[in-house]
Amino acid sequence: MTTAIVILNWNGEAFLKQFLPSVLASIQGNNTRVIVADNASTDASVELLQRDFQAVEVILLDLNYGFAGGYNKALKLVNADYYLLLNSDVQVCDDWLEPLLDYMQHHPDVAACQPKIRSFHEPFKFEHAGAAGGFIDKFGYPFCRGRVFGDVEVDNGQYDSPIDVFWATGACFMIRSKVYWEAGGLDDDFFAHMEEIDLCWRIKGRGYRIACVPDSVVMHVGGGTLGVESPFKTYLNFRNNLLMLYKNLPSDTLNNVMRWKYVLDHISVIKFALSGRWANARSVLKARRDYRKMKPSFELKRQAILKETTSVKFEEMSSKSLVFNYFVMGRKLFHQLF
């Protein structure tokens, strides 16, 4: 079995210099390639790779295609049994790769998996983007073992067991290449954010499993390209969440969910405005407008996905409202939500 670790880079020269050595050191003796796909960086990333990391294969893209489009274009040029999508701001720990490979090889019905993700800056805590495996509620709000909205738990070993999850984080995402392309890959139209959840939803709909393998641990900086407060990040998250729901929800639940999403999104607008984050409030409204514009072009995608879907009920999708549990009931820990 061959594995390709593919790092999508956009102006990440400093991250490559800091974290790429740990990736290269960890694969000595493995049948593994390390590839950096550069999304038309304007910094000195490519020069750094060519000068200091000659063992790394480099794919040069002509434009910044975002996370989704960049990976799709790059992976078409990569021949491997497993793809491992890795953010440039991830420091891998010793023996991080073997547990992921071993789990995939012993569980042929698992299409994708992730390690346990800790914070690089606070190593005793989980990291926001993935923690110990991703879940989702009935209205499309994602959460994790170890992270609910902005509340991140200390890692005391409470989530050290492997578990099936709804989605695996794109920060460190191992997937069978065959399944990646069978499911259509990441959705280019998302550009960035929510694209891995959308892909995982399609994969699970085809009857595959997705897992978190906590024996593997990596450290993630997070927010390397778009900061937590970025209005553009807010826009992408709200727009792509609506597109994801429209694509994947069965017809008998779609309309009800979208009615509630209208209410919940406008509550978010009010919340942003009251906190003085006017640009973020406008981003939510723009996300909803652009969703309506894009919705007709997603109809064919929706029909194709539903045609291939064999299951619409998932144990890893909570039947409860995350917003209600968190903000009204004060339930801020993962074990309180199921």
Q: Give the C-alpha separation, 71 to 89, whole Å.
A: 16
How do 317-318 and 134-137 pair as beta strands? Answer: parallel
Q: What is the DSSP letter of 202?
A: H
pLDDT band at 94 (very low <50, low <70, confident <90, very high): confident
Report which of 75, 71, 171 is spatially closest to residue 114, judged by C-alpha positions.
171
User: Domains of the chain, with CATH numbers?
Assistant: 3-220 (3.90.550.10), 231-336 (no CATH)
pLDDT of residue 28: 77
pLDDT band at 31 (very low <50, low <70, confident <90, very high): confident
Instruction: Give yes or no for residue 270 having a pLDDT over 60.
Output: yes
Mean pLDDT over 261-288 rounds to 97
pLDDT band at 336 (very low <50, low <70, confident <90, very high): very high
- Mean per-residue pLDDT over the chain, rounded: 96
Contacts of 260 (CB under 8 A, 6+ apart): 139
pLDDT band at 227 (very low <50, low <70, confident <90, very high): low
Structural contact between residues 105 and 204, judged by C-beta atoms closer than 8 angstroms? no
Question: Model pTM?
Answer: 0.96
Instruction: Give yes or no for residue 224 having a pLDDT over 70.
Output: no
Instruction: Give yes or no for residue 56 having a pLDDT over 90.
Output: yes
Strands (E), the chain: 3-9, 32-38, 57-60, 82-86, 90-92, 110-119, 134-137, 142-144, 147-148, 151-152, 163-164, 172-176, 209-220, 317-318
Structural contact between residues 283 and 277, judged by C-beta atoms closer than 8 angstroms? no
